[in-house]
Amino acid sequence: MRIGNSLTFVSMAGEVVVDYSLKLKKMYPKENMFVAGYCNHVMGYIPTKKVLEEGGYEAEENLIYYGRPGPFAKDVETRIFATLKKVLGAVGAK
């Protein structure tokens, strides 16, 4: 959601790791951007490729509590950012 040209909210489902917010803000440095997780649905941590490679709780172990059969695909970060770019472009983010 974008409010005029002064504030952009990026609302993502799941418990996205902080890397998503940091990368988005680096990609869109002219935007006053607020990135939020836990929006509409929580299916566990949403890892980046780096987090998946590191393994551990955020990459795999937390998913048992959400009834997930295994870790996310290695390209989850790429797929999410491709969608975020489309959405942010549609609302006029620069």
Q: What percent of the chain has pLDDT over 70?
A: 100
What does 45-74 look like in DSSP terms, one character per residue?
EE--HHHHHH-STTTTGGGGGGT-SSPPPT
How sure is the predictor about 68, in pLDDT bands with cuts at 50, 70 and 90? Answer: confident
* CB of 91 closer than 8 Å to CB of 3: no
How sure is the predictor about 70, in pLDDT bands with cuts at 50, 70 and 90? Answer: confident
Question: Is the predicted pLDDT of residue 25 greater than 90, yes or no?
Answer: yes
pLDDT at 31 (0 to 100): 94
What predicted TM-score, i.e. pTM, was given to this entire model?
A: 0.89
33 beta partners: 8
